[in-house]
Amino acid sequence: MGSQEDESVQRAHDLADLRVRWGNEFDIGWDRGPDEEGEFVARRRVNGLTVFSPTASGLHRALIFNLSVSALVPHPRQEM
C-alpha cells in the first residue's frame, strides 16, 4: 500500500477507536478543509461544543479535558 492508503487505513482505525470510546457523548468524524489538510473533529451532543485536532490522540486528550472541566461547571437545574 502507498503512504496515502496507509494513512487512510490508520485514520479509519483511529476513528473507530474514538467512536467506541466517545460515541455516546460525541459525534466523531474527519473534516477536510479547503487546503486539503484534514483533522479529527468531535461535536458534543448535549451542547454542540466542537473540538478539532490534527491527531486522534490529541482529540482524545481534548475530550478528556472537556469532560473534566464540564464536571466542574455548575449546570442550571432543569425543571421537569
Query: Tens digit of pLDDT for each residue in 6-29?
Result: 888 999 999 999 999 999 999 999
Distances (CA, A) of 7 to 14, 21, 52: 10, 21, 18
Q: What is the model's pLDDT at position 80?
A: 42
For the segment 55-61, the average pLDDT, to the nearest whole number, is 95
Q: Where are the domains of the chain?
A: 3-66
Range with the lowest mean pLDDT among 10-19, 21-30, 31-40, 68-77? 68-77
- Report pTM: 0.77
Q: Is the separation of the CB atoms in 20 and 26 below 8 Å?
A: no
Looking at the DSSP assignment, which residues form a beta bridge with residue 44? 26
The helix or strand, by DSSP H or E, that contains position 17, with its residue range, turns out to be: helix 3-22
User: Which distant-in-sequence residues (6+ apart) come within 8 Å of 51 by Cβ?
Assistant: 41, 42, 43, 44, 59, 62, 63, 66
